[in-house]
């Protein structure tokens, strides 16, 4: 059961990014090119989603900066585990 929950949590930001990229211009408004959402899709999906939200909703405030730090912390363990899997 925990595996299913972790799997859904790991795939959901990427699925949301894909849907936003295909269906709406939400990501195009936040980013100048497709490069940053594409890099965010692979490396830091939660942070990419949050930065798109912040840009579309008027910019950074104190609490949005704190949430940005939290999303970076949430994204880093997944990136670190992918790096270990590739290096061994």
Q: What are the mean pLDDT values of the chain's consecutive 10-residue runs (88 residues total)?
A: 70 87 88 88 90 90 91 79 53
Burial (CB < 10 A; 0-12, 13-18, 19+), residue 17, is buried
- pLDDT of 86 reads 52
Distance CA 42, CA 2 (A): 23
Report domain extents, the chain.
2-87
- pLDDT of 82 reads 54
Which residues, at least 6 apart from 53, have a Cβ–Cβ distance to it below 8 Å?
Answer: 30
Which pTM does this prediction carry? 0.75
Q: How remote is the C-alpha of 12 from its chain's centroid? A: 10
């Amino acid at each position: 059961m925990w595996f299913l929950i972790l799997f859904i949590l790991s795939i959901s930001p990427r699925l949301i990014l894909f849907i936003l990229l295909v269906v709406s211009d939400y990501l195009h408004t936040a980013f100048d090119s497709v490069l940053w959402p594409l890099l965010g899709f692979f490396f830091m999906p939660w942070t990419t989603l949050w930065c798109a939200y912040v840009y579309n909703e008027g910019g950074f405030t104190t609490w949005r900066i704190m949430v940005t730090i939290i999303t970076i912390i949430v994204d880093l363990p997944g990136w670190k585990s992918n790096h270990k899997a590739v290096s061994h």
